[in-house]
Amino acid sequence: MADQEPVFQIQRVYLKEASLEQPNSPAILLEQEQPSVDIQLGVAAAPVGDGVFEVSVTATVHTKIQDKTVFLVEAKQAGIFEIRNLPDEQLSQILSIACPQIVYPYLRGNVADLVQRAGFPPVHLQEINFQAMYEQQRAAGEEAAGNLPQ
């Protein structure tokens, strides 16, 4: 069997989910205190067909004044990618690094837009080094595997 060329193609990038909650409005909007902001990010990849994968990046932005929520935004940006003829190690890197790097700028824009449309100053998510995140997760996984009883 002849070697086949590697394939990497973006099929589609789309906003999969988005929600905004302002449970304490309008009273919380009159507060003068600066809110605290907590941002959580997650990356997931799943096969959706032969050589086709969905990769999603999720952001949760929770702002509070003391113990009261000002707003909570949850958004999931996803992409469908055709990836074929790659060794498993390279496939893992593409799904964990290259695909999220393509999807993440769309997520950043959608979160900023959603927050601004809700009447707040936009929240600009920081740039993410998905390579460093991937290497950190691998190191943590290897360390955990090394601690398993033999």
Report the 3 state secondary structure along 70-101. Answer: EEEEEEEEEEEEEEECCCHHHHHHHHHHHHHH
Q: How far apart are CA 98 and CA 119, in angstroms?
A: 33
Domain boundaries, given as residue ranges, for the chain: 7-146
- pLDDT of 1: 43
**What's the mean per-residue pLDDT of the chain?**
91
pLDDT surpasses 50 at 89: yes
pLDDT more than 90, % of the chain:
77
pLDDT surpasses 90 at 81: yes
- pLDDT of 144: 66
Once rounded to an integer, what is the mean pLDDT over residues 122-148? 82
- The 10s digit of each residue's pLDDT in 4-16 is 899 999 999 999 9
Once rounded to an integer, what is the mean pLDDT over residues 54-83? 97
Q: What are the structure tokens assigned to 95, written together?
A: 């799904």
Q: Are strands 7-21 and 68-84 parallel, antiparallel or unpaired?
A: antiparallel
- Which of 55-64, 108-117, 128-137 shows the lowest mean pLDDT across its residues? 128-137
Q: How confident is the model at residue 150 (pLDDT cuts 50, 70, 90)?
A: very low
CATH of 7-146, one of 3.50.50.60, 3.40.50.740, 3.40.190.80, 3.10.420.10: 3.10.420.10
Once rounded to an integer, what is the mean pLDDT over residues 37-48? 95
pLDDT surpasses 70 at 148: no
Q: Which residues pair with 40 in a beta bridge?
A: 60
